[in-house]
Amino acid sequence: MNDYIRIGWTTLALLLSVSLPAVPAWSADASPKQASPTGQTNVSDKDLRAFVKAYVEYQKIRQNYEPKMNNTRDEKEKQKIQREGDDKVKQALEKQGLTPQAYNRLFSAVNGNPQLRQKALALINDERKKS
């Protein structure tokens, strides 16, 4: 399995308890976008919308695949489920034009800026209502 996909699913399950409620990070080594001198992080509305859509899709994937993984004791079956989840996560990111690294940067920016976090949470709630 390549690193691109492995980052997607296995790391996500471990990083759900970060300070932005229920928003996963793809890897712990993500670096945030450069902050401006005023402390504001530069995230365009387009990037934020892509992040939100990928996040909402990830949550759907997780809700579907996590119980399957938790309910099987067969290691081969768990690996199969994990690969399927990895593929779905990869597709969700690609659909929004994001790489795991770009998602991580956006995640870090959102998580590190209270105003941006509130905006992201509002957009997440709106996106969930649509789907």
pLDDT tens profile 13-32: 333 333 333 334 333 333 33
29-53 pLDDT, tens per residue?
A: 333 344 443 344 689 999 999 999 9
Under the banding of pLDDT at 50, 70 and 90, the label for residue 121 is: very high
The distance from CA 121 to its chain's CA centroid, rounded to whole angstroms, is: 13
Whole-angstrom distance, CA of residue 128 vs CA of residue 3: 29
Q: What is the pLDDT of the chain when averaged over all its residues? A: 76
What would the two tokens of residue 108 be? 């870090």
Domain boundaries of the chain, sorted by first residue:
3-15+44-130
